[in-house]
């Protein structure tokens, strides 16, 4: 972990935008750690949380088609309707 002062961040904001590893922001006057900044993770949290259910979702681009599919499945199950 690298340490960076507030002044260096103010002079060069690209330190934060092009972050590849964690950095520690230090106040050099008081010799005190102010913050720890972590880079943005590229992997999706949703995919990690889905686990074994990740491939069970209905894949469609149109929200209306998804709604109609789910509603027809619900009605078919509740009232015994067929297509």
pLDDT digit string, tens, across residues 7-37: 888 888 888 878 888 889 998 888 899 999 8
Are 33 and 24 in contact, with CB atoms under 8 Å apart? yes
Task: Report the distance separating Cα 39 and Cα 42, nearest Å.
Answer: 9
Minimum mean pLDDT range among 3-7, 11-15, 45-49: 45-49
Q: Each residue of 58-73: pLDDT tens digit? A: 666 788 888 888 888 8
Is the pTM higher than 0.75? The answer reads: no
Instruction: Give the list of residues 6+ apart from residue 67 with CB closer than 8 angstroms, or none.
Output: none
Rg (CA), the chain: 25
CA-wise closest residue to 36 among 49, 52, 23, 54: 23
């Amino acid at each position: 972990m690298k340490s960076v002062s507030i002044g260096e961040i103010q002079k060069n904001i690209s330190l934060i935008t092009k972050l590849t590893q964690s950095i520690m922001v230090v106040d050099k006057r008081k010799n005190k750690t102010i913050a720890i900044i972590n880079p943005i993770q590229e992997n999706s949290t949703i995919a990690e949380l889905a686990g074994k259910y990740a491939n069970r979702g209905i894949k469609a681009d149109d929200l209306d088609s998804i709604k109609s599919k789910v509603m027809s499945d619900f009605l078919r199950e509740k009232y015994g309707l067929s297509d």
